[in-house]
Amino acid sequence: MKSKIQFISSMIIFGTIGLVVRYIDLSSSETAFLSSSIGCLFLTFVYLSKRNTFSWERTKRYAIILVLSGITLGGNWIFLYQSYGYTSLANATLGYYFAPVFVMLLSPIILREKLSIKKVICIFVAVTGMIFIVGNGISASNINDLIGITSGIIAAVFYAALMLLNKFIGEMSRLEVTVIQLGTTALILLPYVLVTEGLNILSVSVSSIPFIIFLGVVNTGIGFWLFFSGMENLKGQNIAMLSYVDPFVAILISGLILREQFTLLQVIGGILLLGSTFVSEIRFNKSQRL
């Protein structure tokens, strides 16, 4: 029960990211840099407080993959935060949750995994759902929605790449990998932010500071800490089911707190997308009664 509570808590925290980012008046790259930096420092403290030590031998062994995963994590956050700035929280979240579809499509090529008939059907249904969602943002009056949804989908591509890269990292705990990835992301984003934004980050408004700290410590640091703590003692099927607390919370915030409007097409598309990816991750026991 403790593991489930920890994992559900992490999903609730992740589901609030879009709301927090809306109150930070920085570019998506600056926000990603700060969240990765603060999150890395927090998780490093947590990791060392457990009397763990970093294995530099293992780190060097997976150095190339860790650097690539840091790049994909940075790209993921930049486009996800940008998505929140252009479209509704619901649209951004649904676009982002297209990531499992990319993983399903690339797994046979990269991981040599067999693509079952069930997954093929789920991919088709998910793509149909995304077409319904994107169809709401094609008109010129909703160009921002289209940009936002597209950014969310690009973020999903980066996240799918991150998930696939992590498959090649062994002999390291997930918390250790995350600390290194966050640190790598921060180091990569620092020169990018300085070149594209200059020192604008130093003139951030006072009102944004509490939300930046919350994003780094709570949404990134505590969120990932609870995520990995809970995941250690949960079965894969439980993780797949409970992961959908994240989009549920985000869409709930979108409707109840931000008062963002949904069209019938969006609702149908969202159900098709989330439902298909959910079904693709669940393994049904043939002996189980329906």
The pLDDT, as a whole number, for residue 105 is: 84
Instruction: Kindly state whether residue 290 falls inside one of the protein's structural domains.
Output: no
Instruction: Kindly state whether residue 168 falls inside one of the protein's structural domains.
Output: yes
The pLDDT, as a whole number, for residue 163 is: 85
Residue 257: exposure state from Cβ atoms within 10 A (0-12, 13-18, ≥19): exposed
For 204-210, which contacts have Cβ atoms below 8 Å and span 24 or more sequence positions?
204/24, 204/25, 204/26, 205/25, 207/23, 207/25, 208/23, 208/24, 208/25, 208/26
Instruction: Kindly state whether residue 163 falls inside one of the protein's structural domains.
Output: yes
> How many CA atoms does the CB half-sphere of 157 hold within 13 Å?
9
Instruction: Kindly state whether residue 288 falls inside one of the protein's structural domains.
Output: no
- What is the amino acid identity at position 256? L
The pLDDT, as a whole number, for residue 55 is: 78
Interatomic CA distance for residues 171 and 181, integer angstroms: 15
**What's the pTM value of the predicted model, to 2 decimals?**
0.85
Instruction: Kindly state whether residue 286 falls inside one of the protein's structural domains.
Output: no
CB 134: neighbour CB atoms within 10 A?
Answer: 21
Interatomic CA distance for residues 59 and 180, integer angstroms: 9
Instruction: Kindly state whether residue 33 falls inside one of the protein's structural domains.
Output: yes
Interatomic CA distance for residues 97 and 120, integer angstroms: 17
Instruction: Kindly state whether residue 287 falls inside one of the protein's structural domains.
Output: no
Q: Domain range for residue 101? A: 2-281
Interatomic CA distance for residues 36 and 136, integer angstroms: 33
The pLDDT, as a whole number, for residue 287 is: 40
Residue 227: exposure state from Cβ atoms within 10 A (0-12, 13-18, ≥19): buried
From first to last of the 290 residues of the chain, give the pLDDT tens digit. 788 899 899 999 999 999 999 999 999 999 999 999 999 999 999 888 888 777 788 888 889 999 999 999 999 999 999 999 888 888 888 888 888 888 888 888 887 878 788 888 888 888 888 888 776 555 444 788 888 889 999 999 999 898 888 888 877 888 888 899 999 999 999 999 999 888 888 888 899 999 999 999 999 999 988 988 887 777 766 776 778 888 889 888 988 888 887 778 878 888 888 888 888 776 655 443 33
Grouping H, G, I as helix, E, B as strand and the rest as coil, residue 252 is: helix
Interatomic CA distance for residues 246 and 126, integer angstroms: 18
Instruction: Count how many domains the chain has.
Output: 1
Q: Could you tell me how far CA 165 lies from the centroid of its own chain?
A: 15
Instruction: Kindly state whether residue 265 falls inside one of the protein's structural domains.
Output: yes
